[in-house]
Structure 1
Amino acid sequence: VGKTTLAQLVYNDESRIKQHFNMKAWVCVCDEFDVTRITRAILESATEKPCHLENLELLQVSLKKELNGKKFLLVLDDVWNKNYTDWYVLKKPFSAGAKGSKIIVTTRNKDVAFIMAGGTLPFNDLKHLSDDDCWLLFEKHSFENTNTGHQPKLESIGRKIVKKCKGLPLAAKTLGGLLRCKVEEDEWEDILNSELWELPAEESDIMPALKLSYHHLPTHLKRCFAYCAIFPKDFEFEQEDLVLLWMAEGLLQQSKGMRKEMEDLGRVYFSELLSMSFFQQSNGYKGRFVMHDLINDLVQCVAGDISFKLEDDRQNGTLEKARHSSYARTQYDDGSKKFEAFYKVKALRTLLSLPLRGLYGDRISIPMSLQDLLPKLSFLRALSLAGYCIKELPDSIGDLK
């Protein structure tokens, strides 16, 4: 309910932050509470420099030196871990900071908030937006600079849609962005009266609204969005990289009479998805983008069997249908059976090597097991071996189309 957005407003208020703090750092924690990875990420965010240390003790010594005597602001976003011992180990270097340092934690779990607050510090339980506030957010994205008084019927329908958003900001933003380009009353009525509102909400009330936003996307944007299911949660990507992947897969389609360069057309697609909140700018690195974790849940749902991430362990007999995949490279891949699942995929078109969060792979060689696999993937259109230490390409690359 806007936890991350609220933390971002504080974190990005440069004038006030500089008045009160000597340094700041933002780390997205997500499902896996890996103390080593998080410590490295804090150090990198605080120093704005890459760190190749892999030993936790050395990392904590470095972080302690960096924080020593400084008043810092640290944001730990989207924490799920309930293990107090992990939190106790992580926070050891923080004691070196000056008095007045602050740590902001966002979580959807009250038990996590209680543990990290030590049972004594207060925590804020954000409530859903009121209908009026939710309308203001929806109005900002759907009408933009247009005066709603000039479109009373659309405003009336819009307010009914907002009630169905149940005070959830992401639902209001996404649906508002979708309707910004729709000016006919029947198009708004279709959203209001859709049966998708009645879908089971599962773990989140927001999913029906997000599925509705996806359902009403134009076909070309549906395909481009679904392709993004190969990205894990909190993965940061660049616009140009994603546009090139869309191009390789043939997802960019020129309309009759259109004479745009393919890259420019891809940037238009990207901007449209960004404007509808399917993508958002990364808080950590300028020029990079992420998907909200609930949007990532949505893309996994709509992509179905066409995409899979190797770490998801989807050995359920559906890999034969997969067309796009990614995996997190590690220094332990060589000699492992990690890549055996790819032999089940008959027509893989995309294979991406992605960095394990917080791990730099510029000293990792291409595993022999991966080199043996590549000649079998004769349908590949996009292959990324980024992050490996490559002195020469294996001969098998030449066998690919």
Structure 2
Amino acid sequence: MGGVGKTTLAQLAYHDDRVKNHFDLRAWVCVSDDFDVLRITKTLLQSIASYAREINDLNLLQVKLKEKLSGKKFLLVLDDVWNENYDKWDRLCTPLRAGGPGSKVIITTRNMGVASLTRTVSPYPLQELSNDDCRAVFAQHALGARNFEAHPHVKIIGEEMVNRCRGLPLVAKALGGILRNELNHEAWDDILKSKIWDLPEEKSGVLPALKLSYHHLPSHLKQCFAYCAIFPKGYEFKKDELILLWMGEGFLQTKGKKRMEDLGSKYFSELLSRSFFQQSSDVMPRFMMHDLIHDLAQSIAGNVSFNLEDKLENNENIFQKARHLSFIRQANEIFKKFEVVDKGKDKSIRRDAPTNGLPDKFANIV
């Protein structure tokens, strides 16, 4: 997922002296969402030949790049690749095949589909940081130290902040940077209680980084993902359970004889391969969303999806737009939970709406 440290790890390897001495040539290209073969080829050639900026013909660029790479052992890093078009990938690789034995291409991506398209060896999926390492990253950026020992008055809230990062170094760095040299307990508490989308984008960059994954989803997957905002944080769900919910919402439109369950399984696998879901159990496969991915779903769903466990303010105004509600069932508390729903119901809806006593807009309750 975004922010787990793929680019940082690739940079560490790329700039290591042992790596520098091992290869004849090295080049780094930040690809991002525009997989323009001409631009990438030109950037590669520019890194080893200054005259490349004067050439704008792809064929000529590839001829020149092939000449430069011929027989040379090179290292190429393609950072942040989203392209799943094999023809574009094959076209880019044409001059690279002239490289000498031992040449390497490293690709960073959030999409396992990209890894399947480009790989010649097994992918190396990064895991989240351990709690100790995450604490060290956060404390380094917030306090210039590796822990909270020298600042006991913020230690407890600092540990809560580290737990909130859930092992993502991007978040640990961003939250630490916002609190850099800020030792006021109230300031730390404000950041801890802030939603991820309330953090200043110019300082954190967390939500934009996560949103990039969402923007690359096709429209049919966007609505399926946003719907998952109804789940509580940390909720473990079954694949078949979620697919049935999608079916009930009409998200799975099939043609011909294709079963909705099969289409839902395909959608689920695509979201899983893009790290929107994570497997939480090997025995009886269950899945969940990382807390930050859950925040992303909530920010996208806006006022449409709600979990009634959340502590919401101005409920009457918020629930005017609600379409999807969920709650954790507990004995003797159901009526109390739905008091907030009654406050927000639209007075213009007909009182005889056939939805078990609830207005149409709240009929879709999980």
TM-score by length of 2: 0.53
2:30 is equivalent to residue 44 of structure 1: no
Offset at residue 3 of structure 1 (A)? 0.5
Partner of 1:136: 136
The whole-number CA distance in structure 2 between the counterparts of 1:110 and 1:160 is 32
Partner of 1:242: none
Offset at residue 151 of structure 1 (A)? 1.4
The whole-number CA distance in structure 1 between the counterparts of 2:185 and 2:154 is 6
Distance 1:293 1:54, change over 3 A: farther
More relative contact order, 1 or 2 (CA 8 Å, 6+ apart): 2
Q: Answer yes or no: is the 8 Å Cα contact 1:27–1:45 preserved in 2.
A: no
Provide, for residues 74-101 of structure 1, a one-character-per-residue CA deviation record: whole Å limited to 9, x for no partner: 0001100101111111101111111001
| 3-state SS of 2:124 partner | coil
The whole-number CA distance in structure 2 between the counterparts of 1:21 and 1:293 is 35
Which residue identity does 1:62 align to in structure 2?
A: K
Distance 1:26 1:175, change over 3 A: same
2:187 is equivalent to residue 180 of structure 1: no
Partner of 1:88: 90
From 30, 33, 39, give the equivalent of 1:31: 33
Percentage identity across paired residues of the two chains: 47
The whole-number CA distance in structure 1 between the counterparts of 2:132 and 2:50 is 40
Aligned length: 211
The whole-number CA distance in structure 2 between the counterparts of 1:82 and 1:127 is 23
The whole-number CA distance in structure 1 between the counterparts of 2:104 and 2:110 is 20
From 96, 100, 103, give the equivalent of 2:102: 100
The whole-number CA distance in structure 1 between the counterparts of 2:10 and 2:61 is 26
The whole-number CA distance in structure 2 between the counterparts of 1:160 and 1:110 is 32
Summarize the alignment of residues 352-367 of structure 1 with structure 2, pairs less than 5 Å apart.
Answer: none
Offset at residue 295 of structure 1 (A)? 8.5
Q: Answer yes or no: is the 8 Å Cα contact 1:191–1:212 preserved in 2.
A: no
Distance 1:124 1:180, change over 3 A: same
Moved segments of 4+, more than 6 Å: none
Summarize the alignment of residues 122-201 of structure 1 with structure 2, pairs less than 5 Å apart.
Answer: 122-145=122-145, 148-194=148-194, 196=195
Partner of 1:249: none
Provide, for residues 244-294 of structure 1, a one-character-per-residue CA deviation record: whole Å limited to 9, x for no partner: xxxxxxxxxxxxxxxxxxxxxxxxxxxxxxxx666xxxxxxxxxxxx9972
The whole-number CA distance in structure 2 between the counterparts of 1:100 and 1:147 is 42
| 3-state SS of 1:74 partner | strand
The whole-number CA distance in structure 2 between the counterparts of 1:102 and 1:58 is 23
2:2 is equivalent to residue 16 of structure 1: no
Partner of 2:60: 58
Provide, for residues 143-194 of structure 1, a one-character-per-residue CA deviation record: whole Å limited to 9, x for no partner: 1048731212312211101111121111110110111221111111111223
The whole-number CA distance in structure 2 between the counterparts of 1:145 and 1:167 is 18
Q: Answer yes or no: is the 8 Å Cα contact 2:157–2:188 preserved in 1.
A: yes
The whole-number CA distance in structure 1 between the counterparts of 2:78 and 2:207 is 15
Q: Answer yes or no: is the 8 Å Cα contact 2:135–2:147 preserved in 1.
A: no
Partner of 1:2: 5
Q: Answer yes or no: is the 8 Å Cα contact 1:174–1:213 preserved in 2.
A: no
Provide, for residues 331-359 of structure 1, a one-character-per-residue CA deviation record: whole Å limited to 9, x for no partner: xxxxxxxxxxxxxxxxxxxxxxxxxxxxx
Provide, for residues 17-75 of structure 1, a one-character-per-residue CA deviation record: whole Å limited to 9, x for no partner: 23210110000111121111111111112335552211111110000011111111000
The whole-number CA distance in structure 2 between the counterparts of 1:131 and 1:175 is 15
Distance 1:296 1:40, change over 3 A: farther
Structure of greater Rg: 2
Distance 1:292 1:3, change over 3 A: farther
| 3-state SS of 1:107 partner | coil
The whole-number CA distance in structure 1 between the counterparts of 2:71 and 2:60 is 19
The whole-number CA distance in structure 2 between the counterparts of 1:292 and 1:20 is 38
| 3-state SS of 1:174 partner | helix
The whole-number CA distance in structure 2 between the counterparts of 1:31 and 1:19 is 31
Q: Answer yes or no: is the 8 Å Cα contact 1:79–1:107 preserved in 2.
A: yes
TM-score by length of 1: 0.49
| 3-state SS of 2:163 partner | helix
Q: Answer yes or no: is the 8 Å Cα contact 2:28–2:79 preserved in 1.
A: yes
Q: Answer yes or no: is the 8 Å Cα contact 2:69–2:99 preserved in 1.
A: yes
Summarize the alignment of residues 209-228 of structure 1 with structure 2, pairs less than 5 Å apart.
Answer: 211-214=197-200, 225=202
Distance 1:112 1:180, change over 3 A: same
The whole-number CA distance in structure 1 between the counterparts of 2:161 and 2:89 is 41
Provide, for residues 371-395 of structure 1, a one-character-per-residue CA deviation record: whole Å limited to 9, x for no partner: xxxxxxxxxxxxxxxxxxxxxxxxx
Which residue identity does 1:131 align to in structure 2?
A: N
Distance 1:192 1:51, change over 3 A: same
The whole-number CA distance in structure 2 between the counterparts of 1:292 and 1:75 is 25
> For structure 1, which runs of at least 5 residues remain unmatched after alignment?
197-207, 216-224, 226-275, 279-290, 301-401
Aligned-pair RMSD on alpha carbons? Answer: 2.6
| 3-state SS of 1:167 partner | coil
